[in-house]
A and B are shown apart, each in its own frame.
Chain A
Amino acid sequence: MYVAVKGGERAIDNAHAWLAEERRGDTAVAELSLEQIREQMSLAVNRVMAEGSLYDPDLAALAIKQSRGDLIEAVFLIRAYRTTLPRFGYSQSVDTGAMACDRRISATFKDAPGGQVLGATFDYTHRLLDFKLAADGEVPEAPIAAPRMEVTPHITEFLQGEDIIEREPASEATPGDLTREPMSFPAGRAVRLQSLARGDEGFILGMAYSTQRGYARNHAFVGELRIGKVPVEMEIPELGFAIEIGEVELTECETVNQFKGSKTVPPQFTRGYGLVFGQSERKSIAMALVDRALRWEELGEDNLGAAAQDEEFVLSHSDNIQATGFLEHIKLPHYVDFQSELELVRKLRREAQDLAEQMAAREAAE
């Protein structure tokens, strides 16, 4: 006999207990430490920090452990934590020109001041499963060179010297912040970049890829990709000057894009920009391509109707926490709405059947 659906509370508690057990897995296997995740799953940690919009490798490692490796769930944990943190103030803009580069490559010049520095990259590895790793993770020490002490200039500065790339005038305007103000359109480039920087890597990648395949192609060259640490400085009111409060690792990508010019602007190169927490090359390159695609209006280009050109479309759907929440909410009970649909479809079917019977009767009479 029907028993009213009671006991939701106990079911939830039990589900949580089971989840905790599943997360731990076989207790005969040693438990993962946060240090292990932080040190050995660092690219996952980076992604969680980037999309979670919070630079804290230890918390990101905790989120990854708690979420059983589901990175979107980990990003969610970080975002929900981040939103409770008080804001003391804002740092000064970081100077990526002063970055201590671990990696710095240019696809547009064979060599340039600062050189090509491959750094720790998968790029030229052969993707062969290394079965030795399964047994023994020990690695020989990598050779060490003396660090470059000079500043590594941005590649685009050289193009700017020739005045062949668009100028990017400095602005003192306070950029918008989509975590404090509701998004409205047009959002402007600063908010667009903020949104892309915390957007889902897979979504941004797909959008960028679509531009490469002809949906608003923008002929991007990777002018420069650089990864490294930059100091973060903040002005302390009591002191009256800025002090360094820490450093963050960033990946920055500047693309150089062909531009045929418009009525008012001579042919020149234009820019796309990507900046992401941690080592996140794929994301930063994709971000730069999407940024460039979204700039069509400002540069007087045609709207080709491509998804990647559509600011409202891209920004409204790039956040994986919003997307996954709304997608997954359809597993919540919808009995009430479904019941009303059930009644409606039954009624419409009844009416359609009545009509068909009337028609048949009329035909028979004729």
Chain B
Amino acid sequence: MSDYNFAYLDEQTKRMIRRAILKGLAVPGYQVPFASREMPMPYGWGTGGVQVTAATLTPDDTLKVIDQGADDTTNAVSIRKFFQRTAGVATTEETTKASVIQTRHRIPEAELSEDQVLVYQVPIPEPLRFLEPRETETRKMHSLEEYGLMHVKLYEDISQHGDIATSYAYPVKVEDRYVMDPSPIPKFDNPKLEMAAIQLFGAGREQRIYAVPPYTRVVSLDFEDYPFEASKADHACDLCAAGDSYLDEVILDDAGSRMFVCSDTDYCRSRRAAGHVGRLGEEAA
């Protein structure tokens, strides 16, 4: 019980997943059902992303795994270890050196290239799910391009709160056709969804794969008078002084003092290596 196939899954299963990926790339934003396998990690912990990565990896790939933007969060460590053990591929924490990046909840700050694949872990792939719990109904709505319900929801947000009250997993429309859940990334990341790399989304428990090919148009839903706004904490990183990165807020003491740090640990590290110093940068070093 120690010998597994390369990247754990058997070749037949990988072929089945690759077919779903190709279909997803051919119909951007469309959720392709696939016969998701039981993985040795729990559903909800990245089984979809892991299956997509397993079907994508070749022995020459270099893999990076992040969770909340960071390489050293426990689940990222666990998934990286899984592929080190079952695929023996090289791993890296440097965004630019990775050929496949599996992520949960973030898009890296550094711009990705045509040589890279970004694999997202997706909990609930259906953007309409919390408006309509039935899969039979939501599939019908997608096929008829019937997205009125979503616009009504956004409108009701505005009438109630004065703003669209969605801050992550902010719905997008792909290539003017399918409304898609970009996975629970902060809406700050939404503009980055138009990129040079291939983006693959895997939802294991919900048995769905979808994709955004390179340079595909991805528009965050909004209204003319309430345009989409990619927001972040109004601070600079306290370690590397970056003003353009998504920030985590960290509570420092009982008195409630805070600091803000890049959620993308590799971005922060490379900036500090290049000599950028934030408000609390030296103390942290």
Determine whether the beta carbon of A335 is less than 8 Å from that of B162: no
Cβ–Cβ contact B187 & A340, under 8 A: yes
Q: Contacts A3-B284, A12-B77, A332-B67 given: A326-B248 contact, CB under 8 Å? A: no
Interface of A is mostly: helix
Minimum CB distance partner of A86 in chain B: B10
Q: Are A182 and B36 in contact (CB under 8 A)?
A: yes
Q: Among B43, B81, B165, B168, point to the contact of A348 (Cβ < 8 A).
A: B165
* Chain A minimum-CB-distance residue to B264: A336
Q: Which positions 69-91 of chain B face chain A at CB distance < 8 Å?
A: 69-70, 72-78, 81
> When the two chains form their complex, are residues B4 and A84 in contact, meaning their CB atoms are under 8 A apart?
yes
- Are A336 and B263 in contact, with the CB atoms below 8 A? yes
**Do residues B44 and A329 form an inter-chain contact, with CB atoms below 8 A?**
yes
Partner of B252, one of A2, A5, A312: A2
Q: How far is the CB of A330 from chain B (nearest CB, A)?
A: 8
Q: Which B residues are CB-close (under 8 A) to A321?
A: 38, 42-43
B99 interface hit (Cβ, 8 Å): no
CB proximity of B75 to chain A, nearest CB, Å: 5
Closest to B184 in A: A337
Chain B, interface SS category: loop
Does A82 lie at the interface of the complex (its beta carbon under 8 Å from any beta carbon of B)? yes
Give Cα A347–Cα B163 distance, bound, in whole angstroms: 9
- The listed residue (A3, A76, A184, A343) touching B233 by CB distance below 8 A is A343
Give the size category of B's interface with A. 35 or more
- How far is A85 from B232 in the complex, measured between Cα atoms in Å? 47
CB pair B77–A8 under 8 Å, yes or no, is yes
Assembly CA distance A11 to B36 (angstroms): 30
**Interface residue? B186 (CB, 8 A):** yes
Separation of A344 and B234 alpha carbons in the complex (Å): 12
B interface residues with partner A (beta carbon < 8 Å): 1, 4, 8, 10, 33-40, 42-45, 47, 67-70, 72-78, 81, 104-106, 123, 134-136, 161-163, 165, 167-169, 184-188, 205, 207-208, 231-233, 246-250, 252, 259, 261, 263, 265, 280, 283-284
Residues of A within 8 A of B (CB): 1-9, 11-12, 76, 79-84, 86, 179-185, 312, 316, 321-322, 324-329, 332-337, 339-344, 347-348, 351, 355
Pairs of residues from A and B, 10 with the lowest C-beta to C-beta distance, nearest first: A325-B43, A329-B44, A325-B42, A340-B167, A182-B33, A326-B44, A340-B186, A182-B207, A344-B167, A325-B44
Q: Can you sample 23 A-B contacts with CB below 8 Å?
A: A2-B259, A3-B284, A4-B284, A5-B70, A6-B72, A9-B72, A81-B1, A84-B4, A183-B207, A316-B135, A321-B43, A325-B47, A326-B205, A327-B44, A332-B104, A339-B186, A339-B247, A339-B249, A341-B168, A343-B167, A343-B232, A348-B161, A348-B163
